Amino acid sequence: MIQLNINNKVYEVDASAEMPLLWAIRDLVGLTGTKFGCGMAQCGACTVHVDGTPVRSCSFPVAAAAGKKITTIEGMTEKIGEAVKKAWIELQVPQCGYCQSGQIMSATALLKSKPHPTDADIDAAMQGNLCRCGTYQRIRSAIHRAAEMI
Amino acid sequence: MEKSNNTHSRRSFLKVSSITGGGMMIGFSWLANLIPNEAMAAAVASKDWIELTGFIKIFPDNRITIISPNPEFGQNVMTSLPMMIAEELEVDWTKIKVEQGDYDTPRFKRQFTGGSQAMRTTWKPLRTAGATARLMLLQAAANEWNVPLAELTASNGFINHKATNKIVSYGALATAASKLPTPEKISLKKNGEFSLIGTPQKNVEGSKVVTGKSLFTMDYKHEGMLIAMAIRPTAFGMKLKTFDATEALKMPGIKDVFEIQVYKDGYVKAGFDTRTFNNLVVVVGNTTWEVMNARKKVNIQWEAFQPYKEFAGAGNNKREDTIPAGLESTDEHLKQMYEKQQVQGKILRKDGDPDAAFAKAKKVIEKTYSAPFLPHNTMEPISCFAHITDERAFFVAPIQIPEMMKQSITTNLDIPAEKIEMKLARMGGGFGRRAYGHYIIEAGLISKKMKAPIKLIYTREDDMTNGVYRPSYMVTYKAAIDEKNNVTAIHIKGGGLPENAIHENRFPAGAFENYLAEGWDIPTNITIGAFRAPRSNFIASAEQSFLDELAEAIDKDPIDFRIELLKKAKANPIGKNNEYDADRYIGVLELVKEKSNWGSPKNKHAKRGVAAYFCHNSYAAHVLELTMKDGQPVVGNIVSALDCGVVVNPEGAKNMVEGAIVDGIGNVLFGGLRFEKGVPMQKNFNQYRMIRMKEAPKKIEIHFVQNNIDPTGLGEPPFPPIFAAFANALYKATGKRHYHQPFINDLNKS
């Protein structure tokens, strides 16, 4: 059994040590806001925070997350996360929406480390998050908008 | 208001029923005569014009729910379709709840997401649905108060009688209204008189999306649900020979490993029954990770297949296709296509005497363009939930064309149509890929075998290497130019695997006295299908690049040159069946010229390219600005002009245009799946380059032509012309023209 602290709640999961955190969160804990996109840390759909740092949960062994503070999109309730979600709605970012959990997790982490990012900061921080619908410009604007709100 | 001409016949009917707790539920079934004949004739697919159902629930406490019948994959129909009903129903949009309709084509009549048809085909039926309900509620109030209907007004979910100052909610009238006969004459607002249509409205599912709550098929859960994955041949041209699951079955959490055959032998395919591979080995277990691991332990032998036949269509349209054997490669494909360009193709259209014009030409410009197979790469890989029991066949499916799945499900799963129940999950992207519902059959077969609820999951590698790809194409454009720099003939010749992309009746046909279009095709065993603006997405890239080069050769401005040709085609159209409306085409070119300050660009450092196209009934033109940095193109501002008639929801419409632009830039620059001996050479995003944040345009400015033409669709039209706008700007920035997609290959060489 591995103990996981997800969104300030403790879960006991029966998983092999190398199971990716993504599948522990989705299949064993049952939180499905974190998405599966590629399974090799190339698309960012599975982004969660581990001790405040954004990680690609599809390539992060569950054992390495034990004892750490994991935050998923469902737990994005502090000030910055709320501002990001609000900006996402205000600027109507999502199209299909599948990648947006990961985009919001990456954007929130960026704003935590850089409260007023430049376009270049955003391009660098968001480079690992694919959006097949092409909402990139709106994501850029929404990050600036969230920065204003915070 | 005016009396509209869409009075429906006595045969059309309105289903009204009471719902639990009182209130009324109105379902509309519209028959063929609802939409005028001209719209019927112009409709693309055979069923597009027919019946459509809106669905409205009115509760006694005046809550109103509108059910959106079409599947949602990010094009925002779940907001814009209900807006049409709400406009005529006269309700407060901010209080409306929207629900996604389940699969129930007999009730909704049309459940099809594709071909940029949603707005166009629902425009009259859905507004008529709203108006019919409003009229019945008005009649109920008139009866209750014993006043003439004409003295009543309906707004914001209430009916008001001004003279007596009486007011009543729709909710209070719903039961009485549901007992009234369906009105025979319905008046609709004229275009231009709307209060909700044309106003920007936010996506009704926005808050669910940003909190991770949206129901995608991948997220679906069910008591006792097992996870299934399939193993498919490693190469196109191969099939299953034998497998040994001994080791896989010993792995933790694994329930079973077995073979399924997706389509039955001799199955006659309906329109979208395209599959990748037919005989699959399936691994079923408790969790995704366990199944992924066990899948690696199955020992499988594949073998090359012999040519075989597939059957499709019905009656006189019955068809037999031979699927060729062989392990195909991209290099071989290119060689085959160049060879086909050397021999006579099938004549698709001929005006005047092109041979004579070319013989007399002072100068001939000839350019060849090509593009590779493209995987759709939807962000949500393919998945499907199925639970088949004796009582029902229940699916949760991400499917663009639920209405066309019946034949395949009933035949290949031996399930009677009345037992099919399907929830239409929000789709994590579609772009055409999810029109091909073979995965519904796969999931159904697995559930039947396991006698359990199962969710079939494709990994990214499964999704990319078992695709229903955009075909690979080639085309040559040739122009004859006389001594006065007039273009005297155009010759278009091209084809692809397995189809050509030529639209012989589209512009520039009609603008040249001498015109020839020829096509050919090469069979392939690589599965292909619709990809956002099928065929147009390639042919526009070639045509609009060629027109740019041609304009330069005869010393004309590229926008003025196009407008001049269109004016000529309008004043004196050559040939028959020219498909486009020259005025609307000119309209978007003039608008983009004005809005982009074409004559005096603001940014003197950036280079600009222009392109325009007509497809799926709408017109689009883009001006794209580009600079080079470290040998790589950096896209700056883009100005777009669109004519898609009335824009129902400008917010959603702009989002879709932006999406098409980014999609096009990504594909022209990076898109392309290579095959070697039948094996797709890119399997995941580490090998397949997609457009990312850094390459996205800095700014996209969108302008819609303001008119009162009925909506003509927008999901696809902005996509085809962006390829050439990019190519033409790239030429201006580098001095080199690019002909073969993806351009990154050439850029990295130089």
Look at A88 and B210 and tell me if their CB atoms are within 8 Å: yes
- Picking from B74, B288, B457, the nearest residue to A97 by CB comes out as B74
Return the pLDDT at B11.
26
Domain span(s) for CATH 3.10.20.30 in chain A = 2-74
Return the pLDDT at B107.
61
| Overall average pLDDT of the B83-98 stretch | 94
**Chains A & B: contacts with CB separation below 8 Å:** 176
Residues B182, B140: Cα–Cα separation, whole Å: 12
Nearest CA in chain A to B698: A137
Residues B492, B494: Cα–Cα separation, whole Å: 7
| Overall average pLDDT of the A34-59 stretch | 98
Nearest CA in chain A to B209: A97
Return the pLDDT at B17.
44
| Closest chain A C-alpha to B682 CA, distance in angstroms | 13
Top-level class of domain B472-749: alpha beta
- Picking from A26, A95, A100, the nearest residue to B210 by CB comes out as A100
- Picking from B214, B652, B692, the nearest residue to A130 by CB comes out as B692
Look at A39 and B73 and tell me if their CB atoms are within 8 Å: no
- The answer to whether B145 faces chain A, any CB pair under 8 Å, is no
With a CB cutoff of 8 Å and minimum separation 6, the contacts of B261 are: B278, B279, B445
Name which of B74, B207, B209, B658 is nearest A96 in CA terms: B74
Nearest CA in chain B to A22: B289
Residues in chain A with CB shorter than 8 Å from the CB of B202 are: 89, 92
Burial class (CB in 10 A: 0-12, 13-18, 19+), B253: middle
Look at B686 and A42 and tell me if their CB atoms are within 8 Å: yes
Look at A27 and B426 and tell me if their CB atoms are within 8 Å: no
When pLDDT is cut at 50, 70 and 90, the band that residue A9 belongs to is very high
Nearest CA in chain B to A77: B211
| Overall average pLDDT of the B571-597 stretch | 97
Residues in chain B with CB shorter than 8 Å from the CB of A139 are: 693
Report the 10 Å Cβ neighbour count for B691: 24
pLDDT tens for residues B181-230?
878 888 999 999 999 999 999 999 999 999 999 789 999 999 999 999 99
- Picking from B211, B221, B460, the nearest residue to A38 by CB comes out as B460
Q: Which B positions 426-465 lie with beta carbon below 8 A of chain A?
A: 426-431, 457, 459-461
Mutate to test the interface with A, among B207, B211, B716 (most CBs of A within 10 A): B211
pLDDT tens for residues B525-535?
999 999 999 99
CATH topology of domain A79-149: DNA polymerase; domain 1 (1.10.150)
Q: Which two tokens stand for residue B322?
A: 């031979």
Domain span(s) for CATH 1.10.150.120 in chain A = 79-149
Three-class DSSP category at A99: coil
| Closest chain B C-alpha to A15 CA, distance in angstroms | 9
Q: Which A positions 36-75 lie with beta carbon below 8 A of chain B?
A: 36-40, 42-43, 45, 72-74
When pLDDT is cut at 50, 70 and 90, the band that residue B241 belongs to is very high
Percent of chain B with pLDDT over 90: 78
pLDDT tens for residues A70-102?
999 999 999 999 999 999 999 999 999 999 999
| Closest chain B C-alpha to A19 CA, distance in angstroms | 7
Domain span(s) for CATH 3.30.365.10 in chain B = 2-199, 217-309+382-457, 472-749
Q: Which two tokens stand for residue B564?
A: 């001049």
Report the 10 Å Cβ neighbour count for B724: 28
pLDDT tens for residues B442-496?
999 999 999 999 999 999 999 999 999 999 999 999 999 999 999 999 999 999 9
- Picking from A89, A99, A127, the nearest residue to B379 by CB comes out as A99
Kind and range of the H or E run holding B427: none
CATH number given to B2-199: 3.30.365.10
Strand partners, B381: none
Mutate to test the interface with B, among A132, A140, A141 (most CBs of B within 10 A): A132
Nearest CA in chain B to A129: B692
Three-class DSSP category at B275: coil
| Closest chain A C-alpha to B690 CA, distance in angstroms | 8
Longest Cα–Cα distance in chain A: 44
Is residue B694 pLDDT above 50, yes or no? yes
Look at B690 and A35 and tell me if their CB atoms are within 8 Å: no
Mean confidence (pLDDT) of chain B: 90
Chain mean position to CA B523: 24
pLDDT tens for residues B22-41?
445 554 433 222 232 222 22
Q: Which A positions 70-99 lie with beta carbon below 8 A of chain B?
A: 72-74, 76, 85, 88-89, 92, 94-99
Q: Which B positions 550-609 lie with beta carbon below 8 A of chain A?
A: none
Return the pLDDT at A101.
98
Return the pLDDT at A142.
98
Mutate to test the interface with B, among A22, A96, A136, A137 (most CBs of B within 10 A): A96
- Picking from B429, B459, B666, the nearest residue to A96 by CB comes out as B429
Is residue B45 pLDDT above 50, yes or no? no
Name which of B59, B58, B56 is nearest B69 in CA terms: B56
Query: What is the DSSP secondary structure assignment for residue B528, as one 8-state letter?
Result: B
Query: Is the four-CA dihedral B17, B20, B22, B24 of positive or negative sign?
Result: negative
Nearest CA in chain A to B383: A36
Length of chain A as a residue count: 150
Name which of B443, B426, B432, B396 is nearest B70 in CA terms: B426
When pLDDT is cut at 50, 70 and 90, the band that residue B108 belongs to is low
- Picking from B213, B381, B693, the nearest residue to A127 by CB comes out as B693
Query: Is the four-CA dihedral B30, B31, B32, B34 of positive or negative sign?
Result: negative
- Picking from A23, A31, A135, the nearest residue to B289 by CB comes out as A23
pLDDT tens for residues A115-135?
999 999 999 999 999 999 999
Return the pLDDT at B184.
80
CATH number given to A2-74: 3.10.20.30
- Picking from A96, A122, A134, the nearest residue to B663 by CB comes out as A134
Is the ipTM, as predicted for this complex, more than 0.90?
yes
Q: Which B positions 206-225 lie with beta carbon below 8 A of chain A?
A: 206-207, 209-214, 216, 218-219, 221
| Closest chain B C-alpha to A3 CA, distance in angstroms | 18
Considering the four listed CATH numbers 3.40.50.1220, 3.30.365.10, 3.40.50.300, 3.30.390.50, the one that applies to the domain covering B217-309+382-457 is: 3.30.365.10
- Picking from B426, B459, B694, the nearest residue to A127 by CB comes out as B694
When pLDDT is cut at 50, 70 and 90, the band that residue B15 belongs to is very low
Return the pLDDT at B21.
42
Q: Are B280 and B260 in contact (CB under 8 A)?
A: yes
Look at B691 and A134 and tell me if their CB atoms are within 8 Å: yes
Look at B685 and A42 and tell me if their CB atoms are within 8 Å: yes
